[in-house]
Amino acid sequence: MKKPKVCFVTSFFYPTLGGVETHIQNTAKELIKLGYDCEAYVSDMDRDKRISEKRAIIDGIKIKRFRSWIKFSFSGIFFPGLFPAISKSNADIFHIHGYRHPFNFIFWFTKKPVFITPHWPVYKGQRAKWAQLIVDLLDKYVGKYIFKHFSKTCVVTELESPWVESFGVKKQDIILTPNCIPDYYFKEYNGEKFRKKYNLKKNDLAVVTVSRIHQSKGIDQLVKTAKHFPNVKFIIMGKDGGFQTHLEQLAKKLNIQNIVFTGEISEEDKLEAYAGADIFCSPSHYEAFCISILEAMSQGCAVLTSDAGGMPWVVGKEGLTFKDYNLNDFKNQLNKLIENKQLREKFQKQGKIKAQKFKWKNTAETLDREYKKYLKQR
């Protein structure tokens, strides 16, 4: 009996790392366990350079890369070879990840069901004015046309649903398929290695943030707030996205001595950091979800994030949020976690329990149920 085949379509795939790529890879791995044949049609780019290998099999997922013609944004790429491949594909279902991309129009080239996970790309205030104008015009004049052609729209948090509904999508056509974390995140990791590495004594408090060091991540808010807590160590982990020098200069200007920039870290180092730190903070100006929240919770970090995007839904009642761009509120909320050990430990315990609910197996099973409705029709 032929296995049902799902073809995922997006801009990048492994070795490119990011929230979208992680979502597809882990969901597909679980779908394969459920009896699906999974493939991914992507560009031949790894953010800024080409990938020479046009075909690969990664975790059982068949990858086909198409030559990129134009890169017009961080993840916006035009790779036209995709479209004839879609028309010839023997996939039973197509699943797009990303919105406002040329590949959104694959429904012109197939009559098969097409799902979309847009990953809530609002980013208000994070684009240049001219770019935001183009986005607004596209949404106004083309958005409804695009969304009406999809069989189902998948959202990563419940907060995303009203935005999707603004394009005329009915509630019954929206599915919640949240980001999750792999099972190995639920193991116990050695936080003492992290604490020893950064000279943290038994009673020293450590605040970590893990992200690409980019202006949109709001880490300057963390630097400015750190000055109020000289006895707390702030450890900023992640690859430089062009903003680290500015942050280092800012820390120097403010005479802040309790900040460490680690640069890019391994997966093991990250997990040990979560296990050894006391508080995780994401001061980002926008995140559709922020998987790092769940990662930190899984290892017993109390969580504080800005109230931007989908983060308040992920944090829920098991952590705290502050008003983005409001440094006074940021300081006050962080102070609650630093000064109130009982509150901090409560969130650490609750977060561990909450993280257990976010397993890729659950998201894959949700998709399996929805896919089968269309497979039966066919």
The per-residue pLDDT for range 226-279, each reduced to its tens digit, is: 999 999 999 999 999 899 999 999 999 999 999 999 999 999 999 999 999 999
Name the band, by pLDDT with cuts 50, 70 and 90, for residue 292.
very high
Residue with tokens 């013609």: 69
In sign, the C-alpha dihedral spanning 123, 127, 132, 135 is negative
The answer on pLDDT for 75 being more than 90 is no
| CA distance linking residue 157 with residue 314, whole number of Å | 8
The answer on pLDDT for 121 being more than 70 is yes
Task: Report the SS3 class of residue 214.
Answer: coil
Asked if 175 and 95 count as a contact pair (C-beta separation under 8 A), the reply is no
The answer on pLDDT for 146 being more than 80 is yes
Residue 125, sorted as left (phi over 0), alpha (psi -120 to 50) or beta, turns out to be left
Q: What is the residue extent of each domain of the chain?
A: 5-180+359-377, 183-355
Name the band, by pLDDT with cuts 50, 70 and 90, for residue 376.
confident
Name the band, by pLDDT with cuts 50, 70 and 90, for residue 82.
very high
What's the pLDDT at 122? 85
A 10 A CB-CB count for 13 gives 27
The answer on pLDDT for 73 being more than 80 is no
* Run of H or E including 30: helix 19-33
Which amino acid, 291? I
* Run of H or E including 168: none
Q: What is the pLDDT of residues 40-50, one digit of tens each?
A: 999 998 877 89
CATH number of 5-180+359-377: 3.40.50.2000
CATH class of 183-355: alpha beta
What's the pLDDT at 135? 83
| CA distance linking residue 292 with residue 281, whole number of Å | 9
259-263/205-210 β-pairing = unpaired
Residue with tokens 């491949």: 85
Name the band, by pLDDT with cuts 50, 70 and 90, for residue 130.
confident
Residues in CB range of 31: below 8 A, 6 or more apart: 6, 38, 364, 367, 368
Which amino acid, 339? E
Q: Report the chain's C-alpha Rg in angstroms.
A: 21
Give the burial class of 260: count Cβ atoms within 10 A of its Cβ; 0-12 exposed, 13-18 middle, 19 or more buried: middle
What's the pLDDT at 314? 97
In this predicted structure, which of 14-28, 143-157, 170-184, 340-354 has the lowest mean pLDDT?
14-28
pTM (two decimals)? 0.91
In this predicted structure, which of 76-80, 159-163, 366-370 has the lowest mean pLDDT?
76-80
What's the pLDDT at 72? 78
What's the pLDDT at 71? 83
In this predicted structure, which of 88-102, 113-127, 158-172 has the lowest mean pLDDT?
113-127
The pair of structure tokens assigned to 319 is: 């952590």
